[in-house]
Amino acid sequence: MSALEVIEQIKALPPEEKAAVLDFIHKLEIASGPSSELRYVDRAALETTAEKIFDRYDDLFRKLAQ
């Protein structure tokens, strides 16, 4: 069975069965551990970047806050 066929089968399930499938997928994701694609920025880089953005777009943020 192809992935597309599995997806179509899941779409056809009643809500409680879909919930069971989603629960299973969630458990698989947790069991597989963190994704190798998941990356974190260090706090100093985040603060520096945020400061630059807020300085550059200060007027825009003020207008949005009104």
Q: Is 35 exposed, middle or buried (0-12, 13-18, 19+ CB in 10 A)?
A: exposed
Task: Tell me the residue range of the domain where 23 lies.
Answer: 3-31+41-65
Query: Is residue 51 one of the residues assigned to a domain?
Result: yes
Residue 52 is predicted with a pLDDT of 94
**Would residue 36 count as lying in a domain?**
no
Which pLDDT tens digit goes with each residue over 7-53? 999 999 999 999 999 999 988 888 877 666 767 888 999 999 999 99
pLDDT bin (cut points 50, 70, 90) of residue 4 is very high
In the prediction, which pLDDT does 41 show? 86
Domain-embedded: residue 45: yes
Q: What is the pLDDT of residue 32?
A: 78
Phi-psi region of 33 (alpha: psi -120 to 50; beta: other; left: phi over 0): left
